[in-house]
Structure 1
Amino acid sequence: MTTHDLPSSPGSVVAHAAGAALLVNAVPHGVHALSGSSFPSPFADPPGVGPSTPTENLVWSGTNAVAGACLLLGVGRFRFGANLDTLVTVTAGLLAAYGISRHFTGVAARAASDDVTPGTAA
């Protein structure tokens, strides 16, 4: 049995799952940065809720992408295929996408309700 045949360590699997979540989080920030629109980021006031500039979103997207790639490719040996590593990594990415979607749906709903002009019906 070679080291290529050995299963990944639990720590590597966790690192790969975190890397997938970071890569997923890079996408909406990068899209908003490239389209020139504001979008919440940790640099906003309040963090994660208020609007951030496209430049701030570009920095956050790049940070997430680099950190995610480092975790996915630099910790242990990620083996794409029918294995636990791939299952956990893809599941983590999908769960992160769902969580991010829910968070930003709530942020958008709160922002829309704050835009109601005083004296008008909501």
Structure 2
Amino acid sequence: MSLGSILRSALGAALLVNAVPHGVSGVQGKPFPSPFADPPGVGMSPPVVNVAWSAANAVAGALLVRRGIRSRGEWIGAGAAAVAMAFVLAFHFGDVLRGGRGLRGLQRRRR
């Protein structure tokens, strides 16, 4: 177990979690925020873009965890990153779908 393997597992898990909302919305045929919208992450992208973004996240996440999560540290890193990403996505997408600016709005609130 090395710091690199823990970080690789954490990033892979976070990407796999990010694939879920984009893939679900795309398969349902619903527009959903993506980094390719205007403004990025806040504007709505068509379903096809979200399916493609979901697939890219899933492939990248799978490649990062492809050797398996073997050690306790890797399990903890992957689990913590997955839960953290889920909370960040819940806040961001929840706020955006209610008409807010999600994480981008935090910059304005601080000023």
TM superposition score category, shorter chain reference:
0.7 to 0.9
Alignment-derived partner of residue 70 in structure 2: 79
Question: Is residue 12 of structure 2 the alignment partner of residue 23 of structure 1?
Answer: no
After TM superposition, give the deviation of residue 43 of structure 1 in Å. 1.0
Q: Deviations over 1:53-97 (max 9, x none)?
A: 0000001000000000111115xx5217xx111111111100000
Classify the secondary structure of the residue corresponding to 1:23: helix
The higher radius of gyration belongs to 1
- Aligned residues: CA RMSD: 1.3
Name which of 59, 82, 91 aligns with 1:102. Answer: 91
Q: Which residue of 1 aligns with 2:51?
A: 58
TM-score (norm 2): 0.85
Q: Which residue of 2 aligns with 1:32?
A: 25
> Taking every aligned residue pair, what percent have the same amino acid on both sides?
48
| TM-score, normalising length: structure 1 | 0.78
Structure 2 gap ranges (5+): 101-111
Report how many aligned residue pairs link the two structures: 100
Structure 1 gaps, min length 5 = 1-7, 112-122
